[in-house]
Amino acid sequence: MSVTGLPDVVAVAARPPARRARTSLMIGLVLLGILVLVAILAPVLAPHDPDAVDPNRVLAAPDGSYLLGADDFGRDVLSRTIFALRVSLLVAVSSVVVATLVAVPLGLVAGYFGGWVDTLVSRPLDMILVLPALLLALSLITILGPGSTVAALAIAVIYLPILARVMRASTLVTSQQDYVLAARARGSGHVATMVRHVLPNSIGPVAVQGSVLTGFALQLEAALSFLGLGTQPPTPSLGGMLADGRDVLSLAPWLEIVPGVAIALAVLSFLLIGDGLRRTLDPDGVAS
């Protein structure tokens, strides 16, 4: 290393980004694949009924039958985590999918037409960003009541303006490209041009942002369930399990460790996928 370390910085910057992108993407996809498989096959894989109460096994430590221990009702922590992962992934993915489905057309139209159309679409969306994310979610839950559907909806509302902004920024760049102008000159209508030429070439940064946001959506859902405002019992949720186990933390730490690790791994998989996609689909950093 030189005195300032500058050559190292240059060396790292000059390293081909493709390899790192592939590694991130692969690790992320494999990790997510395993988690999704576990979630889908929950009824087959879970060794016990997640809701089965066993008074003889209250707070039982991990052993051969209950691999990750039992909770304060004697329920199997592993089985509950597997089923909770299902709910968490479903809420996180569906909220981001809904937000994307609304945000992409809005951002596309705003970025493509610009001018008053842009103002009409973008200003109301900016208003949503006035409140910090969790505060907005809590406000919506106050209005609609707690539950996993409301949590998913709240997360979708929070991410809608973010994704629309990314799509708009990306469309602004794409709309000026020669091939778009050429399509217009050839007589292609606005809708056809947007859908056929602008959309496919602008969607990359949205995919990047979308996968990162899915990770954060998972954290948000867990936080809301931890506060008792997301997924409601008896449905197992990772945040809810963390809230339940807090009172017996020193007696049964596995109740807190297992769901937390599950959340962290799931979030990590989405962040790695986002990182890998960014390096391939969005080298200019529009998504950030």
Partner 1 sequence: MTRLTFVVRRLLLTIPVLWVMTLFVFMILRLIPGDPVRTMLGFRATPENVAVARHQLGLDEPLWRQYVGWLGGLLHGDLGNDLISHAPLSELMSQRLPVTLELTVLSMLLAIVIGVTLGAWAAVGSRRVRSLTDGAVVLGVSIPDFWLGIMLVLLFAATLGWLPPSGYVPFSDDPAGNLRYMVLPVATLAGAEAAYILRTTRGAMESVLQRPSMTYLRAKGIGPFRMVAGHGLRNAAPTVVTVIGIQFGVLLGGAIVVETLFGLPGVGRLIVTSINQRNYPAVQAGVLAVATLFVLVSLAVDLVVAWLDPRVADGVGT
108 versus 242: smaller Cβ distance to partner 1: 242
In angstroms, the CA 166 to CA 180 distance is 19
Closest approach of partner 1 to the CB of residue 137, in Å: 8
Site residue total, partner 1 (CB under 8 A): 46
For residues 231 and 147, give the distance between their C-alpha atoms in angstroms, rounded to a whole number. Answer: 5
Closest to partner 1 by CB, 65 vs 139, is 139
Considering only residues 19, 190, 196, 246, which one is a binding residue for partner 1 as defined by CB under 8 A? 246
The pair of structure tokens assigned to 189 is 């209508």
**Shortest Å distance, C-beta 229 to partner 1:** 6
Does residue 258 contact residue 68 with C-beta atoms inside 8 Å?
A: yes
Residues forming beta bridges with residue 191, ordered by sequence position: none
Sign of CA dihedral 220, 109, 127, 283: positive
Closer residue to partner 1 (CB): 162 or 199: 162
2-10, 77-85, 148-156, 178-186 -> range binding partner 1 (CB under 8 A): 2-10
Q: Going residue by residue from 218 to 237, which x/- string records binding to partner 1, judged by CB under 8 A?
A: -x--xx--xxxx--------
Q: Which stretch binds partner 1 (CB under 8 A): 3-11, 61-69, 73-81, 84-92?
A: 3-11
Contact residue for partner 1 among 22, 119, 139, 181 (CB under 8 A):
139
Q: How far is the CB of 188 from partner 1 (least distance, A)?
A: 34
Give the CA distances from residue 214 to residues 82, 106, 110, 119, 131, in Å, rounded to whole numbers and listed in that order.
Answer: 19, 20, 24, 28, 20
Concatenating the DSSP letter of every residue in 196-244 gives: IIIHHHH-HHHHHHHHHHHHHHHHHHHHHHHTTSSSPTTS--HHHHHHH
- Candidate ranges 40-48, 92-100, 125-133, 191-199; the one touching partner 1 (CB under 8 A): 125-133
CB 230 within 8 Å of CB 148: yes
Is 65 a binding residue for partner 1 by CB under 8 A? The answer is no
CB-nearer residue toward partner 1: 169 or 267: 267
What 5-10 contacts at long range (C-beta under 8 Å, 24+ apart), as own/partner pairs, is none
Pick the stretch among 46-54, 164-172, 200-208, 260-268 that binds partner 1 (CB under 8 A). Answer: 260-268
In the bound state with partner 1, the residue whose beta carbon lies nearer, of 96 and 108, is 96
At 263, list the tokens.
Answer: 């959340």
What gap in Å lies between CA 244 and CA 71, rounded to an integer?
Answer: 9
CA distance 212 to 91: 15
Q: How far is the CB of 13 from partner 1 (least distance, A)?
A: 7
Q: Does 127 bind partner 1 (CB under 8 A)?
A: yes
- By the 8 A CB rule, do 108 and 201 touch? no
CA 257-263-268 angle, 5° bins: 120
Site for partner 1 contains 9 (CB under 8 A): yes
Closest CB to partner 1 among residues 41, 264: 264
Residues that bind partner 1 (CB under 8 A): 1, 3-6, 8-10, 12-13, 127, 130-135, 138-139, 141-144, 146, 215, 219, 222-223, 226-229, 242, 246, 249-250, 253, 256-257, 260, 263-265, 267-268, 271
